[in-house]
Amino acid sequence: MFYNLAMRIEIDQSGKLDFPGPSIFAFSNGECGSIYVGHKVKLKVFNYYEKHPHYSKETMRKRIKVRFFVACVSFLLTKLKNRKGKIVIDNELDSYQDYLKELLIHRLQKLGFSIKQVSIDVDSVGKKSPADFLAGEVRVGKRKPDIVVSFEDLIPLL
């Protein structure tokens, strides 16, 4: 598969947020980077939301997962030097794509991204994606993550 690395920012996740164990988020567009979200951090985030009564219903629990996902992706994207192009996020959260994109645009604007220079798609990045490869290598310990994310890192983005 051909990648226009200067224009396409691919993001992939290894390890679901609501499953035990760590979750890895990686991006690739010529430059690459990864973040590691440990199991204890994930538990703290879900406990943080459980304290809010309006997040207790089932549909709200799914939205919490989307908000958590967007916080991780937003944190990851702050590490990008080239902030122009098409962001393609691997489709991890079916049926919440519009909400994910809306929330991500809002977060990226708060972080200083020029939304006029960025488009966001939620689609499959594929198993041959450099982002998928990087996330997998970090997950199995062949490569260290660029950043180990703490709960405090994510709070402003939740």
pLDDT in tens, 85-137: 788 999 887 788 888 999 998 998 888 877 677 788 888 888 889 999 999 99
Angle at alpha carbon of residue 22, lines to 131 and 81, rounded to 5°: 35
pLDDT at 3 over 60: no
pLDDT at 34 over 90: yes
Look up the pTM and report it: 0.87
Nearest CA to 11 among 104, 99, 103? 104
Domain ranges for the chain, please list them.
8-151
The CATH number of 8-151 is 3.30.420
